[in-house]
Amino acid sequence: MRIAVAIVFMLVCVALTAIVLMQEGKSAGLGAIQGAADTYWGKNKGRSMEGAMIRATIILGIVFVVLSVLLNMNLF
């Protein structure tokens, strides 16, 4: 059982790293000064691929923490 949890933990680590590296930076640059952040893209960001990657990052982060606690409790 411990080996299966460790393998899932490794897969979550790789997936979390890949998703974090694919995301864009949060800096808006000079466009924020002129109000370019209030475009259609900025308002509907939660329904886009970027919003899905943010949700996946949160979910994988929670799974990462839970699995790391389980692996360190020596229950298996």
Which tokens hold the place of 76?
Answer: 């298996």
Q: Give the mean pLDDT per block of 10 residues along the chain (76 residues).
A: 94 97 73 55 68 93 96 84
pTM over 0.75, yes/no: no
Q: Quick one: pLDDT at residue 5?
A: 93
Q: Quick one: pLDDT at residue 72?
A: 94
Helix, strand and coil in the chain, % to nearest 5:
80, 0, 20
